Amino acid sequence: MAFLEHDQKSRVTVRPLTAEDVTWVRELFTERWGGVISVSRGVAHDTTELPGFVALLDGKRAGVATYTISGRECELVTLDSVREGAGVGTALVEAVAGAARAGGAVRLWLVTTNDNLRALRFYQRYGFDLVAVHRDAVARSRELKPSIPEIGLDGIPLRHELELELPASLLGVSPTRSPEC
C-alpha cells in the first residue's frame, strides 16, 4: 500500500479497487463523466470491469484510477480525484505505474481530451509527454458513447484526443526489457 504524507493533517493511502467500491465508482463516473464507459483511441472501456486503485484521504474515498495492461503497454484509462491538490492523483498514478511494472509493461500511456486543461497540466507536471494529437477523434468516440457533449470543460469545443505517455525512465523500466522481467 502506497503511503504519502502531504501535510500534518491529511494522509493519502492507496489500495486496490474492490467489488465494494463499484457502486461508488459508478455514481462518481456517472456524475462527472456521464457514465462508466470511457472511450480512448476507438475502444470503449467499461470502467467497472477494469482493475484499479482507490485513494483514501484520511480514511475516506478521495479518488480512483482504472487501467488495462495489454502486452508491454499499460493504459491509464481513468483518473479521478475528488480532492485536488492533496496528492490523490499523484498517489494513484504511482500505484498504476507500479502495477504496470509488475505486469511487464514498458509503456504507460493515457488519453485525455483537448478541453481537459487541468488534467493536461497535471500529467505534464508529473512527467508525461504529449506524443500524439488525434484530430477529431472525439467525433468517432461519440459513436461509442453518444453522451459525450459537444462543448467540454471551460466552454471549450470537445474535438480531439491527446495521447500522453510516461517515459520509460520515469516509469522505472528499460524500454528494451523483456516481459518476463
Residues 121-179 pLDDT 10s: 999 999 999 999 999 999 999 988 888 899 999 999 999 999 999 988 888 887 664 44
70-96 residues labelled b (16+ CB within 10 A) or e (exposed):
eebbbbbbbbbbebeebbbbbbbbbbb
How many residues appear in the chain?
181
Domain borders along the chain are: 3-171
Separation of alpha carbons 111 and 44, rounded Å: 12
Instruction: Give pLDDT, residue 72.
Output: 93
The CATH code for residues 3-171 is 3.40.630.30
Instruction: Give pLDDT, residue 175.
Output: 66
Q: Tell me the mean pLDDT in the region 32-48.
A: 86
Instruction: Give pLDDT, residue 6.
Output: 41
Residue 3 pLDDT level (bands cut at 50, 70, 90): very low
Highest averaged pLDDT of the listed ranges 36-40, 80-84, 121-125:
121-125
Residue 69 pLDDT level (bands cut at 50, 70, 90): very high
CB atoms within 10 A of CB 53: 25
Q: What is the mean pLDDT of the chain?
A: 88
Greater model confidence, 18 or 35: 18
Instruction: Give pLDDT, residue 93.
Output: 96
Q: Tell me the mean pLDDT in the region 23-29.
A: 93
Separation of alpha carbons 55 and 92, rounded Å: 7
